[in-house]
Amino acid sequence: MARKEHLKVAVIGGGSSYTPELVEGLIKRRSELPVKELYLVDVEAGREKLEIVGALARRMVEKAGADIRIYLTLDRTEAIRGADFVTTQLRVGQLDARGRDERIPLKYGCIGQETTGAGGFSKALRTIPVILDICKEMEELAPDAFLLNFTNPAGIVTEAALKYSKIKTIGLCNLPIGLRMQIAEFYGVDASKVHIEMIGINHLNWTTKIVVDGEDVSESFLAKAAGAKGLTMKNISDLEWDGDFLQSLGALPCSYHRYYYMRDDMLAEQMEDLGTDGTRADVVKRVEAELFELYKDPILAIKPPQLEQRGGAYYSEVAVNLMSSIYNNRKDIQTVNVRNNGIIPFLPDDVSVEVNSLIDAEGAHPIQLSRSVGPEIRGLMTLVKAYEELTVEAAVHGDRKKALQALALHPLVGTAELARSMLRDILEQHEAYLPQFRQ
């Protein structure tokens, strides 16, 4: 990246309740990352949220005395033109669509989740075409910019951009930083003292090495993690890991592995919640209503602590840290979603993987893993990645055959009958957002 003293950042999905966290991060790090123009972009359906969030962002910047001009727009091209970084945090169809993603699988007795299983498949189908439209606009208006994708399912969406666009794309997730903070809590140290090595794909990564204050605690931490509370994200039930299982695995599963390794317990909880709190989308709607009431307060000029109720908390730390390391050619190590390029030898080179990467002015470069993994990890990872590859093709081409095979292959769906039924419901209920599937 060329060294400039005036950076422009475009946030697609700028009306998100997470945006104040990103603004906080840009304010805190402005001496090392001179963002002078911040464009918050949304769609007509998100206009009111954009105006509320934009007003708060302006109050935050003014209170901090930061020289960051904030623009609100529904015109994506205005925001993208000449941008240095484009971040995507959009939700096509808003939270109502997420509710449908979560409820359709539950109707058939399957896990209903935002990014994992048939719910993530459904979200990917309507999200990937929009992300590729953004990539096309960037190729024309900001060809040297970086696309930092937070939009879920982040790994699948990032893979689509890597495969179908020339734009420098890096996928982000707050799960790795979240785990480092949790491990730091266990040992009573600052998160900067915790280094982890992950192998896998987004929301399906295994932590195979943990170093705390210079000491390799990979083995002993598995014993600590058995039966422990606190090893999860805010949006995932904190069911404890079984000690024998962790020892047999020889690695720490991520929060989302509960939907696989503890599927029946997680499904039972989801079914029970359906009759009380509803799905996660219903919970988030209530959290969002509370947050936007707070954001409207003309006195508020900081990011409210209530934002940490959301599962994606601390994503700004990830985004701003990454922008700063690219801009400053820092050559530090961050866990991000990148093109595999052989780092995970049993996955294709062109798929997205979530691994430690060296960050410099050219972007993110995956780092050789310090240990290989056996069939106990390779098996599930290979299967879910094959599902992801099929999902990308189904989303890009409106290919029903690939869509059916993707669902039938996913371990949380698994049969032709369920795949056919869920695909029918998904295409019907999201018809407005799936032009690529219209006959």
Q: Binding pattern to ligand G6P, positions 108-147, x when CB under 6 A?
A: ------x---------------------------------
Q: How far apart are CB 308 and ligand G6P at their closest, in Å?
A: 10
Residues near 424 by beta carbon (within 8 Å), at least 6 away in sequence: none
Binding residue for ligand G6P (CB under 6 A) from 79, 284, 380, 381? 284
Q: Tell me if 157 contacts ligand G6P by CB under 6 A.
A: no
- Phi then psi for residue 362, to 5 deg, are -90, -15
Q: Tell me if 100 contacts ligand G6P by CB under 6 A.
A: no
> Using CB under 6 A, which residues numbered 305 to 334 contact ligand G6P?
310-312
Q: Which is the catalytic residue, given 18, 39, 256, 433?
A: 256
What stretch of H or E contains 8?
strand 7-12
Q: Tell me if 291 contacts ligand G6P by CB under 6 A.
A: no
Q: How far apart are CB 279 and ligand G6P at their closest, in Å?
A: 10
Q: Tell me if 175 contacts ligand G6P by CB under 6 A.
A: yes
Q: Tell me if 173 contacts ligand G6P by CB under 6 A.
A: yes
Residues near 31 by beta carbon (within 8 Å), at least 6 away in sequence: none
CA distance 148 to 142: 13
What stretch of H or E contains 316?
helix 315-327
CA distance 439 to 436: 8
Nearer to ligand G6P (CB atom), residue 235 or residue 270: 235
Q: How far apart are CB 434 and ligand G6P at their closest, in Å?
A: 21
Q: Encode 82-107: b = buried (16+ Cβ within 10 Å), e = exposed.
A: ebbbbbbbbbbbbeebbbbbbbbbbe
Q: How far apart are CB 111 and ligand G6P at their closest, in Å?
A: 14
Number of residues that bind ligand G6P (CB under 6 A): 12
Q: How far apart are CB 244 and ligand G6P at their closest, in Å?
A: 27
Q: Binding pattern to ligand G6P, positions 242-281, x when CB under 6 A?
A: --------------------------------------x-
379-383 long-range Cβ contacts below 8 angstroms, 24+ apart: 380/204, 380/260, 380/411, 381/199, 381/200, 381/201, 381/204, 381/344, 381/346, 381/347, 382/346, 382/347, 383/409, 383/411
Binding residue for ligand G6P (CB under 6 A) from 16, 127, 149, 152? 152
One-letter identity of residue 36: K
Q: Are 104 and 133 in contact (CB under 8 A)?
A: no
Nearer to ligand G6P (CB atom), residue 22 or residue 141: 22
Nearer to ligand G6P (CB atom), residue 314 or residue 433: 314
Give the bridge partners for 209, in sequence order.
197
Q: Are 120 and 156 in contact (CB under 8 A)?
A: yes
**Whether 108 is catalytic:** no
Residue 351's alpha-carbon distances to 297, 345, 365, 438, in angstroms, are: 44, 11, 14, 27
Q: Tell me if 92 contacts ligand G6P by CB under 6 A.
A: no
Catalytic residues: 256
Residues that bind ligand G6P (CB under 6 A): 114, 152, 173-175, 233, 235, 280, 284, 310-312
